[in-house]
């Protein structure tokens, strides 16, 4: 019997499928499907997800169950069983969007046990159940020209991977996103980026990771900095 990988993708852009984040996410998910995986895509804008209240009843009183009744009731089992989480967010103040952070808090905290153990020399809440070879992938875009604007977001996703006991499988990053969007709409010189995003999806499923060269193509420079931003006067 052939095992079909389960992928859950969350797009936290308020513009949903009309935003720049989706321009990278859509071909990436297409590549994942072409490689034979099952994909479910959700938009935080369409979800009712309340912030975590920090009472830890989900860890102590009713393990794995939050007292708040909202869309997390149907999402939590999907995240719990998925082989791959794809987290797509535009860059907001060097980090993820607020709705994405709400969702991550509500996913991860009910998965953990209240006790602590040392994992790689650091305090860690053990998980009730770990998905073998589980992975997390980041997809993001920003309006800034420089790629290093994503550094804090990447570190946050890597920390999430450690907490969730999942492997960080790469980040599809698109700096100077407005230029990319404009060139896409005018069908100018971005076909290689779209194909690289699709290829990244195929590589993730077939090889278990994305080739760095593929990620570099997705993030490649589109125009010189001097053309994109004016010097401060």
Give me the residues of the chain with pLDDT under 70, please: none
pTM of the model: 0.93
| pLDDT given for residue 193 in this prediction | 96
Quote the pLDDT of residue 14: 95
The per-residue pLDDT for range 118-137, each reduced to its tens digit, is: 778 887 777 777 777 899 99
Q: Please give the domain boundaries of the chain with CATH numbers for all domains.
A: 6-228 (3.40.50.360)
Distances (CA, A) of 7 to 29, 79, 100, 121: 9, 9, 17, 31
Whole-angstrom distance, CA of residue 95 vs CA of residue 104: 13
- First and final C-alpha spacing in the chain: 65
Residue in 221, 224, 204 with CA at minimum distance from that of residue 33: 204
Output the pLDDT for position 30: 98
- Predicted confidence at residue 221, as pLDDT, reads 94
What pLDDT is recorded for position 128? 73
Taking only the tens place, the pLDDT of each residue in 179-223 is 999 999 988 889 999 999 999 999 999 999 899 999 999 999 999
What does the pLDDT read at residue 176? 94
**Number of C-alpha atoms within 13 angstroms, CB side, residue 21?**
24
């Amino acid at each position: 019997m052939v095992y079909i990988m389960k992928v859950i993708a969350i797009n936290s852009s308020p513009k949903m499928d009309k935003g720049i984040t989706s321009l990278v996410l859509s071909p990436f998910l297409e590549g994942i499907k072409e490689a034979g995986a099952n994909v479910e895509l959700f938009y935080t804008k369409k979800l009712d997800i309340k912030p975590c209240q920090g009472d830890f009843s989900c860890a102590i009183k009713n393990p794995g169950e939050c007292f708040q009744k909202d869309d997390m009731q149907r999402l939590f089992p999907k995240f719990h069983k998925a082989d791959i989480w794809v987290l797509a967010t535009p860059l907001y103040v060097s980090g993820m969007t607020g709705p994405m952070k709400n969702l991550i808090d509500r996913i991860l905290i009910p998965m953990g046990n209240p006790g602590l153990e040392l994992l790689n020399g650091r305090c860690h809440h053990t998980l009730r159940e770990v998905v073998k070879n589980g992975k997390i992938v980041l997809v993001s875009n920003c309006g800034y020209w420089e790629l290093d604007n994503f550094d804090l977001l990447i570190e946050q996703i890597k920390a999430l991977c450690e907490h969730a006991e999942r492997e960080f499988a790469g980040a599809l990053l698109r700096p100077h996103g407005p230029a990319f969007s404009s060139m896409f709409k005018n069908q100018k010189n971005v076909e290689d980026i779209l194909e690289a995003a699709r290829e990244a999806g195929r590589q993730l499923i077939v090889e278990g990771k994305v080739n760095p060269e593929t990620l570099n193509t997705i993030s490649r420079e589109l125009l010189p900095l001097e053309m994109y931003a004016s010097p401060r006067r």
